[in-house]
Structure 1
Amino acid sequence: MNYKIFSVFVIAAVAFVTITEGMSLRGLGVDLRCRCIKTESRRIGKLIESVELYPPSPHCKDTEIIATLKETKQEICLDPTAPWVKKVIEKILANKAP
């Protein structure tokens, strides 16, 4: 009987720790998966207000490039293999170089 109660307690404690740890990472702005499911490869350079570059991480093996559009403020994932996106990345990296 004591073994069953102990087992239930251990399972409940592990579940609680798992849930709260996941919630705390999400609250810190850490994504536990890739942000981009689909990417845009069409030229939309004139519509872009800003671009953020996210390098590969333990939670996502892909480099993610997220553009915010000027008028709608919508965020769109850009295809990092598209030639025009590569040029945008080069310009961003050149501006950050000392």
Structure 2
Amino acid sequence: MNSKILSVSVIVFLAFLTIIEGMSLRGLAVDPRCRCIETESRRIGKHIESVELFPPSPHCKDTEIIATLKSTGQEVCLDPSAPWVKKVIEKIIANKKP
């Protein structure tokens, strides 16, 4: 009987730790997975209002580039291997250098 109680207690404790860890990551505005499932490779440069670049992290091995569109405010994931996206990234990096 005691071993069953101990086993259930350990399982409940581990589940609690898992839930708390997931909540703490979201509370820090860290998503525990990649943001981009699909990427856009077509040229949409004239529709872009802003671009955010997210380097690889422990939660996502990919570099993610998220553009916000002017007209709708919708966020679109861009394909980092598309030639026009590479040029956008180069311009962003060049503008950030002092």
1:14: which partner in 2? 14
Identity of aligned residues (%): 81
Q: Residues 17-61 of structure 1: CA distance to partner in whole angstroms, max 9, x if unpaired?
A: 111110111121111111111100111101000000000111111
One-letter amino acid of the structure 1 residue matched with residue 94 of structure 2: A
Partner secondary structure for residue 59 of structure 2: coil
Q: Gaps spanning 5+ residues in structure 2: where? A: none
Q: State the TM-score, normalizing by the size of structure 1.
A: 0.97
Alpha-carbon distance between aligned partners in 2 of 1:9 and 1:24, rounded to the nearest angstrom: 22
Partner secondary structure for residue 17 of structure 1: helix
Question: Aligned residue pairs: how many?
Answer: 98
One-letter amino acid of the structure 2 residue matched with residue 79 of structure 1: D
1:78: which partner in 2? 78
Alpha-carbon distance between aligned partners in 2 of 1:71 and 1:27, rounded to the nearest angstrom: 30
Alpha-carbon distance between aligned partners in 2 of 1:61 and 1:53, rounded to the nearest angstrom: 13
2:33: which partner in 1? 33
Following TM superposition, the consecutive aligned residue runs of length 4 or more in structure 1 with deviations greater than 3 angstroms are: none
Partner secondary structure for residue 60 of structure 1: coil
One-letter amino acid of the structure 2 residue matched with residue 89 of structure 1: I
Q: State the TM-score, normalizing by the size of structure 2.
A: 0.97
Q: Residues 66-88 of structure 1: CA distance to partner in whole angstroms, max 9, x if unpaired?
A: 00000100000000011110000
